[in-house]
Amino acid sequence: MRRYILIATVFAATALLIVSCDTDTKDIEKLNYATAIGIDFKEGKFIGYVQFVNLPSIAKQADGKKEPAKIWIGKGTGETFEESFFDIYRTSQERIYWGHLTAIIIHESAIKQGIDSIYDSFSRYYEFRLTPWVFGTRSSIEDILNARGFYEQSPLSTVLQDPEGIYTQSSQIHSIRLHRLMSQVNEPGYTTAIPTLSINRETWRSNGKTEPKLMIDGAIFLENERYTGYMPIKQLQGLRWIQPQTVRAAVEVPTAKKPIVAIVIDKPKAHITMRSDSEKPRFEIQLKAQGYMTNRAKNQMLQLHELEKATEEAIAKQIQETYENARTKGIDIYNFEYFMFRHHNWLWKKIHYSDKKLIAKDTIQDISVRLKVKHTGSEKNTRVQQEER
């Protein structure tokens, strides 16, 4: 009899535990899943945006098909970043779940107000992960969140949600995740580049109508949480040769306006060294890379050493021009100050505390590029000849 009473007691306790735990659960169809958010600042107030995407457009159904993507954009305003999202809660109908957030886009005007309060909120709320991609913009955030991928796919198949896909084909500005941004803005002397997004309405058409698509059009730069400036993509051609994440980049030789050949460079490796002269630092940039020819517009540069030399000069020119464009805006684009902080700290302290500028016309003492063209991209091309250099 005692045995039956014990078994009954165990079953009753288990049932009570299940019932009590069940009150903390939530059916998945009773949640709104945020996939991206946007932050803007206008007329003295923060404007928050949240993007929902219907789940059937993301996952395949039993018949192997997906539903057409449908997007909802919520918008709220407030005196602070947090208040703008509490304004959205008022009309969200059901609880918003933030665990699936994969992208954050911040308008330039909001970044100028200070980015520290924004990422601080993400680090404190338990549902937010620190892995979303972070982008800046100077365009309409609502238009960017409404942009779609190809073939009626969801916005999760765009540059906003998956920027690494196109980066492996054409490396321009490396995208940054939230946790990496948080670590960089707290590093002394570090200049962070946040890629910016805009809408391209010219490149793609479907059924005779224009198809707006997202594109990276430049970068916003921060130094220790402070906004330092914006640079368009055309002025940033030299950055890809210095950033260590570059996978694949193309350069037209001798110039983009008068190209003779197009060379694709794979995984260039840049090395920076410092030469000090009476407490005034000078930097040398050494770049080693391998590449191959993808196109030749004119029947010139028949010798391989000519091709390599012209390509090296074109890359060095891009590095120098990007530095000059950034210098005029007060941007330490190649992170010379951070290099000093890490490797020549005693000199960095002198220059940093005396408020001396590290970015001057003669800060770059030398740019050395060493390129090896592996092949010409075609076995039939026998007119490019290898010679010892």
Clarify whether residues 225 and 303 are in a common domain. no
Clarify whether residues 130 and 161 are in a common domain. yes
pTM of the full predicted structure?
0.84
Clarify whether residues 255 and 362 are in a common domain. yes
Pairing of strands 31-42, 95-97: parallel
Q: Which helix (H) or strand (E) holds 371?
A: strand 364-375
Residues of the chain under the 70 pLDDT cut: 1-29, 55-68, 152, 154, 255-256, 277-279, 295-302, 353-356, 375-389
Domain assignment present for residue 2? The answer is no
pLDDT of residue 229: 95
Clarify whether residues 243 and 178 are in a common domain. no
Domain assignment present for residue 20? The answer is no
Pairing of strands 280-296, 364-375: parallel
Domain that holds residue 194: 28-235
pLDDT of residue 382: 47
Give Cβ neighbours of residue 209 (< 8 Å, ≥ 6 apart). none
Clarify whether residues 302 and 317 are in a common domain. yes
Instruction: List, as one string, the DSSP characters of 11-62.
Output: HHHHHHHHHHHHTT---GGGEEEEEEEEEEEETTEEEEEEEEE-GGGTS--T
Clarify whether residues 79 and 53 are in a common domain. yes
Clarify whether residues 210 and 330 are in a common domain. no
Count up the domains in the chain and report the number. 2
In degrees and rounded to multiples of 5, residue 383 shows phi and psi of -90, -15
Q: Residue 382 belongs to a domain with what CATH number?
A: 3.30.300.210
Clarify whether residues 357 and 329 are in a common domain. yes
Cis preceding-peptide flag for 212 (omega within 30 of 0): no
Chain segment 364-389, per-residue pLDDT in tens: 999 999 998 886 655 545 445 554 44
pLDDT of residue 388: 45
Nearest to 138 by CA among 118, 170, 111, 117: 111
Clarify whether residues 205 and 106 are in a common domain. yes
Q: Is 297 exposed, middle or buried (0-12, 13-18, 19+ CB in 10 A)?
A: exposed
Domain assignment present for residue 243? The answer is yes
Clarify whether residues 132 and 259 are in a common domain. no
